[in-house]
Every structure is written in C-alpha cells, then in structure tokens.
C-alpha cells in the first residue's frame, strides 16, 4: 500500500526535463504520456485511476499529483514553502 504524503513533504525531481518547463497541453490536447503502472506504483502517491478516467484525465491527474510535491526553481513562482502550487502554472482570469 502506498504511503501517505505529508502536507509539507517535498521531493527532488528525479526525471530530467530536457532544460524546459511548462504545462504539457498544446492546441488543447494533453501531450504528457504519463507513467505506466509500475512507474506510478514506485511514486507511492495516493492518487488512483477511476474507471471513468480517460487516458487524458489519468495523465492529468498523474502530472498534477507528481508536480504538487516539487520545489520551485528560479523564475517559477511557488507557495510560501517554495513548492510548486496551482498558480505556478495556472493563472486566474
């Protein structure tokens, strides 16, 4: 059973980003390929795929769950603890 993540637990980025950062939606379509079942299990994040989740929805859930536990880097805003937050990528109108 995956362990629960504490509120303020941050993890190092273990996957190279190729020198770029950004939200993986282009022309309104999700482009991040997500993690396979074994990779996802290794992350030990308590987020599950629901039967009604499309591939795009599941990849979105994975992406957000992984990135909400990451420390920010120079030029990307974060929360008071220096972690990514929704507003690091999403801007309200």
pLDDT (tens, 9 = 90+) of the chain, 93 residues, equals 334 444 444 444 455 565 566 777 778 777 888 889 999 999 898 999 999 999 889 988 998 888 887 888 777 888 888 888 888 877 754
Q: Where are the domains of the chain?
A: 53-93
The sign of the torsion formed by the CA atoms of 20, 53, 38, 42 equals: positive
List Cα–Cα distances, 54 to 30, 50, 57, 59, in angstroms: 11, 9, 5, 9
Cut 0.85: pTM above it = no
pLDDT at position 14: 53
The token pair at 9 is 């637990």
């Amino acid at each position: 059973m995956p362990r629960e993540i504490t509120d303020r637990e941050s993890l190092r980025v273990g996957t190279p980003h190729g020198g770029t950062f950004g939200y993986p939606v282009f022309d309104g379509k999700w482009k991040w390929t997500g993690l396979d079942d074994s990779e996802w299990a290794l992350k030990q994040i308590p987020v599950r795929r629901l039967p009604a989740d499309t591939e795009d929805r599941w990849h979105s859930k994975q992406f957000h769950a992984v990135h909400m536990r990451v420390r920010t880097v120079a030029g990307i805003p974060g929360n008071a603890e220096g972690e990514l937050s929704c507003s690091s990528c999403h801007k309200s109108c």
